[in-house]
Amino acid sequence: MRKRLFVGSFVQIPQEEVKKVRSTIESLKVEGKWVELHNLHFTYRFIGEVEEEKVPQIVQMLRGRLKGVESFPVKFTGLGTFTSNGLPRVLWIGVESQGVYTVKERVDQALMPFGLPPEREFKPHVTLLRIKKLRRRGKLDELVMKMKNHVFLERTEVSVALIESKLTPQGPIYSVVEEFKLG
């Protein structure tokens, strides 16, 4: 049996902050699939499908590489978009912290023995919306610029998790396989 895995961290963006953004986005006639509040997270590394018997080895490698990493401050700030064919397809909140890059490097090192070379690009973010239809791109761009420095949340990152993602017609179901506490 296989498990679909990623290394990440769940984020509890205040509900009123998400509601304000959602209300504004919907008034701009942007349609799509919003990520449920309980599923908000950022990903250090998507691993993909893994044979179940390899999971303990992955856990062991991650535990070893993350040992000694201290907890660190993180700021969730600004809105941005990822585009496909020149059109915004994902609306996200940015993740600012030097510690995120330290963890990312350690996670990549832990996964190399499993045939997963380090990723070339890493843009830490929390996905809010997968955009399906957009009528007023200029207005969306204006909102992103206006919210560029808006701080949604500040916290100290105290753990990283290996997370299983089960895809269902209703959306993904995430469950923590193993949590790694930071020093």
Each residue of 82-113: pLDDT tens digit?
A: 999 989 999 999 999 999 999 999 999 999 99
Is 41 among the catalytic positions? Answer: yes
User: pTM of the entire structure?
Assistant: 0.94
Is 150 among the catalytic positions? Answer: no
Residue ranges of the domains in the chain?
Answer: 2-181
Catalytic residue (choose from 125, 134, 147, 164): 125
Catalytic residue (choose from 4, 20, 22, 41): 41
Report the run of H or E that residue 27 belongs to, with start and end.
Answer: helix 15-27
Q: What is the pLDDT of residues 154-163, one digit of tens each?
A: 999 999 999 9
What's the first-to-final CA gap in the chain, in angstroms? 34
CATH code linked to domain 2-181 = 3.90.1140.10
